Amino acid sequence: MTAVVERPTHAGRAVRSTSMDVAIALAALAAIAHLVEAPYHFQWWPASGITFVVIGLLQAAFALSLLRSEPSPRLIQVGIWGTVGVVLLYLVSRTIGIPFSPGVPVHGAKLLPGMPLLPDGDKQVGPVDMLTLVAEVALVVVLLGQLPRRARRRTANGLMWCGLSIWGLAILGALT
């Protein structure tokens, strides 16, 4: 026999969990960070600026959708994998570089297309980069906890295989 778990209500409306409030705040933080940094990226390369605006708007829309209603497991999955995609794009920009991007002057040097956005990218990561990255990784963890058990297991396995693939590529030298 399965027990029916009723969600707490206040004035007839379901009360969100604290972890869902944390997810909303993390998604909003990442959205704001991308939108704040967009003008700088427009100066470097308009495609980069547009990417930052699109990512920021999508993250804001995701935060609003979590705020307005009880999210479905499918919406949570979209949030997880979309956020993982943004994190992977960031990692690519700091390792092998974004293909077809223009060279930019950085500390007196000119980068070539397809080279990392910043030379010695790991040494050039700023506080906004780290804040956004930590918020996005934490968002994935919090959202993972919101999934039903079976979906959580499958998603965690998918994330594990994604991570192992990245490590495999790094070991083979494909990310340097």
Domain assignments of the chain as residue spans, ordered by start: 15-147
pLDDT of residue 33: 94
pLDDT of residue 107: 42
Average pLDDT over residues 35-52: 87
Q: Between 6 and 141, whose confidence is greater?
A: 141
Average pLDDT over residues 119-124: 51
Question: Could you tell me the CA-to-CA distances from 43 to 21, 46, 129, 133 in Å, in that order?
Answer: 35, 7, 18, 22
Reduced to 3 states (helix: H, G, I; strand: E, B; else coil), residue 13 is: strand
Nearest-angstrom CA–CA distance, 174 and 176: 6
Nearest-angstrom CA–CA distance, 103 and 51: 17
What is the rounded average pLDDT for all residues in the chain? 80
With bands split at pLDDT 50, 70 and 90, how would you rate the model's confidence at 41? confident
With bands split at pLDDT 50, 70 and 90, how would you rate the model's confidence at 174? low
Cβ-contact 48, 59 below 8 angstroms: no
Q: Between 99 and 157, whose confidence is greater?
A: 157
Is pLDDT above 90 for 60? yes
Q: Between 57 and 12, whose confidence is greater?
A: 57
pLDDT of residue 118: 52
With bands split at pLDDT 50, 70 and 90, how would you rate the model's confidence at 14? low
In this prediction the pTM is: 0.76
Reduced to 3 states (helix: H, G, I; strand: E, B; else coil), residue 70 is: coil
Cβ-contact 145, 67 below 8 angstroms: no
